[in-house]
């Protein structure tokens, strides 16, 4: 089976971007843990797990198509933010960037007439809409509560309930 080199290259770039994203969210989890926000730390740790599963989904797909999955060195990620709001603003901006990258992968697949890859990427397109929505929902909640310590405490408790479910296994 021949796997288109342009598609393979763009997917390998995406694999590594997903690993970078995972590192970013793990760094955010550490930031929150150090500040005493266990729930926010948990939410970001789940994000880390999701990004790892996304990277592996594409990695495995490349291999299943007869391609060569390549893991590159991962650049350093940010480790300090001004406050909770800044972390989630950064999260939303990052998810928008990832959405653009996924759309680019999809366009390359279509250009190369690789409809199987375009079909696989549709899952990621839908997932990115959910990722952006989740980040925006927390941003909205943070704007609503402002500096109210009790409200932030309650939001922290709510975010502590999030658990990782590997959606890539059902897709």
Question: DSSP letters along 86-102, please?
Answer: HHHHHHHHHHHHHHHHH
* 150 part of a folded domain: yes
- pLDDT tens sequence across 63-76: 999 999 999 999 99
* 171 part of a folded domain: no
* 147 part of a folded domain: yes
Q: Which pLDDT does position 7 carry in this prediction? A: 98
What CATH number does residue 26 fall under? 1.20.1260.10
Asked whether 102 and 117 are in contact (CB, 8 A), the reply is no
Total residues found in the chain within this entry = 171
- pLDDT tens sequence across 147-171: 999 999 999 999 999 999 998 887 5
Global pTM reads: 0.94
Rounded to an integer, the average pLDDT of 17-44 is: 98
Contact residues for 11 (Cβ-Cβ < 8 A; gap 6+): 58, 61, 62, 67, 105, 117
Lookup: tokens for 5: 């080199």
Asked whether 105 and 54 are in contact (CB, 8 A), the reply is no
Asked whether 51 and 27 are in contact (CB, 8 A), the reply is no
- pLDDT tens sequence across 78-97: 999 999 999 999 999 999 99
* 158 part of a folded domain: yes
* 49 part of a folded domain: yes
* 100 part of a folded domain: yes
Q: Which domain holds residue 141?
A: 5-71+79-165
From 88, 100, 76, select the one nearest 137 (Cα to Cα): 88
Give the single-character DSSP code of 169: G
Lookup: tokens for 138: 């927390």
Q: Is residue 105 over pLDDT 80?
A: yes
* 170 part of a folded domain: no
The span from the CA of 120 to the CA of 116, in Å, is 6
* 160 part of a folded domain: yes
Q: Is residue 98 over pLDDT 70?
A: yes
Number of domains in the chain: 1
Q: Which pLDDT does position 2 carry in this prediction? A: 78
Helix, strand, coil shares of the chain, percent, nearest 5, are 75, 0, 25
- pLDDT tens sequence across 123-136: 999 999 999 999 99
The span from the CA of 96 to the CA of 66, in Å, is 30
């Amino acid at each position: 089976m021949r796997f288109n080199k342009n598609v393979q290259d763009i997917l390998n770039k995406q694999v590594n971007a997903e690993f970078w994203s995972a590192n970013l969210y793990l760094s955010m989890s550490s930031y929150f843990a150090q500040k005493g926000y266990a729930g926010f730390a948990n939410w970001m740790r789940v994000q880390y797990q999701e990004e790892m599963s996304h990277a592996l989904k594409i990695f495995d797909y490349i291999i299943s198509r007869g391609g060569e999955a390549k893991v590159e060195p991962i650049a350093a990620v940010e480790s300090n933010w001004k406050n909770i709001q800044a972390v989630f603003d950064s999260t939303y901006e990052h998810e928008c960037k990832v959405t653009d990258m996924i759309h680019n992968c999809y366009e390359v697949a279509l250009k190369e007439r690789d409809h199987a890859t375009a079909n696989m990427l549709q899952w990621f397109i839908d997932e990115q809409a959910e990722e952006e929505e989740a980040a925006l929902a927390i941003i909205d909640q943070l704007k609503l509560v402002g500096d109210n310590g009790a409200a932030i405490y309650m939001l922290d408790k709510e975010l502590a309930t999030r658990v990782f479910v590997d959606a890539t296994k059902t897709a």
